[in-house]
Amino acid sequence: MEALFSVCSNSLFSSLQNHKNKTLLPFLTSDSRLSSSQLKSQSRVSLKSHDFHDFPPLVASRRRVLKCRSSNEQLETSFDESESLKNGVRRKNLAVFVSGGGSNFRAVHQAILSGDVHGRFVVLVTNKHDCGGAQYARENGIPVIIYPSTKKEPEGLSSNDLVAALSTYKIDFILLAGYLKLIPSELIRAYPNSILNIHPSLLPAFGGKGYYGTKVHKAVIASGARRYSGPTIHFVDENYDTGRILAQRIVPVVVNDTAEELAARVLRQEHKMYAEVAAAICEERVIWREDGVPIIRSKADPEHYS
């Protein structure tokens, strides 16, 4: 199958960056895992972890090889999956979607580097190739994919090509971290219960179309009805900010707050919460309650959920 997409990364694909024709043919060595659609079961169970045990046991020394070929050159990179089991749990492959500075992405990446999150960012998707998040990704050897295709970003992918490109990275979870474009339904269907978004208010309040960035915090302050705000992490469905809520943190709204002050206070909590939630999903501690509400099992006390 030939998938058409553009990939840029300083360390992995730097020699491709100035090519006008960015037609690449990505492929992975054969892998014994099930396809992503087989793995992403929608079934919900009572207090039962995600069905990651569907994965065949990881061979400790397995080496994944990613080859990318353009018209006149062939590049190869690989990452060693040895020692990727921690307490019997496989290290998870994460994709992140970013449109701006990417401070949440950086916070989770730092938590990975410090060993607090048993995952790895294998690709970043952005609608702005030169945004701060994309620059940070390239500096850290993380491939960058542009989506969608627009006049400003003509090399962006179509929705189907995005899904095809992501499938080559064997993504377990997608983290949206300040990505301002709509997520295509093709992607949501390909990754059920596996895409998370962070929103800077206590959903369902101050969410939905038009509520983004400072607008959220201005609306919170203007409402006068709220003494508290705070970030929400939720699973992504086909509408804005309506997916199942996974985690929230409370942040006080101070009487004389400006939107910027409130945003900064909320953002500090976002960074902590996204790292904690990323740790939970990577350690398979997200449980689906019978009524469809996702909850997180505490690492310190497995009898406790939040």
Interface residues with ligand GRF (CB under 6 A) are 100-104, 177-178, 198-200, 231, 267, 270
The DSSP 8-state label assigned to residue 123 in this structure reads: E
Start-to-end C-alpha separation, the chain? 43
Nearest-angstrom CA–CA distance, 275 and 232: 13
Residues classed as catalytic: 199
Nearest-angstrom CA–CA distance, 284 and 303: 15
Query: Do 208 and 129 contact (CB within 8 A), yes or no?
Result: no
Show Cβ contacts of residue 166 under 8 Å, excluding neighbours closer than 6 positions.
95, 123, 125, 145, 174, 187, 190
- As given in the structure block, the two tokens for residue 72 are 């006149």
Cβ proximity to ligand GRF, 174 vs 198, nearer residue? 198
Cβ proximity to ligand GRF, 103 vs 167, nearer residue? 103
Read off φ and ψ for residue 193, nearest 5 degrees: 55, 30
Cβ proximity to ligand GRF, 58 vs 267, nearer residue? 267
Nearest-angstrom CA–CA distance, 85 and 91: 6
- The CB-nearest residue to ligand GRF is 178
Cβ proximity to ligand GRF, 134 vs 177, nearer residue? 177
Question: If we measure between CA atoms, which residue out of 299, 274, 282, 280 comes closest to residue 108?
Answer: 274
Strands annotated E in the chain: 7-8, 25-28, 63-70, 73-80, 85-86, 89-90, 92-98, 119-126, 144-146, 173-176, 195-199, 228-229, 232-235, 245-248, 251-252, 286-288, 294-296
Tell the smallest beta-carbon distance from residue 181 to ligand GRF (Å): 12
Cβ proximity to ligand GRF, 68 vs 187, nearer residue? 187
Tell the smallest beta-carbon distance from residue 146 to ligand GRF (Å): 17
Show Cβ contacts of residue 161 under 8 Å, excluding neighbours closer than 6 positions.
3, 4, 5
Tell the smallest beta-carbon distance from residue 71 to ligand GRF (Å): 35
Tell the smallest beta-carbon distance from residue 123 to ligand GRF (Å): 17
Cβ proximity to ligand GRF, 58 vs 180, nearer residue? 180
Tell the smallest beta-carbon distance from residue 104 to ligand GRF (Å): 3
Show Cβ contacts of residue 63 under 8 Å, excluding neighbours closer than 6 positions.
78, 79, 80, 81, 82
